[in-house]
Amino acid sequence: MQTERISYQVDGIDAIGYLAVPDGTDPCAGVLLCHEGPGQDANVRLRAERVATELGHVAFALDYIGGGTPLDTMEETMARLGPLRDDPIATRSIGQAGLDILAGQSRVDTDRLASIGFCFGGTMSLELARSGADVKAVVGFHSGLGTGRPDDAANITGKVLVCIGADDPMIPPDQREAFENEMRSGNVDWRMTLHGGAVHSFTNPDAAKRAMAGVAYNADADRRSWAAMVDLFAETIA
């Protein structure tokens, strides 16, 4: 595997993405990874490396915070995420910029693209799909499911998977129900897995460091949700 930092401009920030390319020369599927709200951290870079080494796909972890590093405080994080939460078009644009970099890699087969994301990064992946981006699979891990443009679900062309903690206070049952209705109305091929006992950020081993209620790592939910993603990829981009 080879890795590389890639600098680019998006939404007025100096972004630094993280590219992981499997060994070999054959064309590969490409997977875009969108990090959690605080920023691109070691966990999402490790996920990119796992996509490359375990699955044999080119992986690119974008950066929507800037500098390729996480923010230090939740106040800084919310100041950045607030405007994006209210602007799905800007969110989609940031995701598309990352997808463009991924698709431009020489090893990437652009007919086999996928996007996954964690926390707000999962929301970004879903918004990218709602934009009509040509992604065959979209996965959100403990991702916010709401959108200001639910009718745009009709633009989704790929298959959608969301993996949600059943006890996640940030994604309550009414938000899950609204998402189900949105997907049905858009005639989307979708699935939702609920992980009992799991709360927010269940894929991040360092989640407890945030000292926030309703945020915790869950090894079982992490392992099972990743396996569900691999299963979806086998259907769509293998």
In whole angstroms, give the CA distance from residue 184 to residue 46. 34
Question: Under 8 Å CB-to-CB from 103, ≥6 apart: which residues?
Answer: 30, 110, 113
In whole angstroms, give the CA distance from residue 144 to residue 162. 10
Q: Which secondary structure element, helix H or strand E, spans residue 18, and what is its range?
A: strand 13-21
Q: What is the pTM of this model?
A: 0.96
For the segment 50-100, what is each residue's pLDDT rounded down to a tens digit?
Answer: 999 999 999 999 999 999 999 888 888 888 888 888 999 999 999 999 999
The superfamily (CATH) of domain 2-236 is Alpha/Beta hydrolase fold, catalytic domain (3.40.50.1820)
**88-103 vs 74-85: helix crossing angle, rounded to 10:** 100
Tokens matching residue 105:
């890699």
- List phi, psi (to 5°) of 31: -125, 120
The residue extents of the domains of the chain are 2-236
Which single residue is written with the structure tokens 């090894």?
Answer: 219
In whole angstroms, give the CA distance from residue 27 to residue 220. 33
DSSP E strand boundaries for 119-215:
137-141, 159-165, 190-195
For the segment 98-140, what is each residue's pLDDT rounded down to a tens digit?
Answer: 999 999 999 999 999 999 999 999 999 999 999 999 999 999 9
For the segment 164-202, what is each residue's pLDDT rounded down to a tens digit?
Answer: 999 999 999 999 999 999 999 999 999 999 999 999 999
For the segment 9-53, what is each residue's pLDDT rounded down to a tens digit?
Answer: 998 999 999 999 999 999 999 999 999 999 999 999 999 999 999
Q: How crowded is residue 82: how many other Cβ atoms within 10 Å of its Cβ? A: 10
Question: Under 8 Å CB-to-CB from 76, ≥6 apart: which residues?
Answer: none
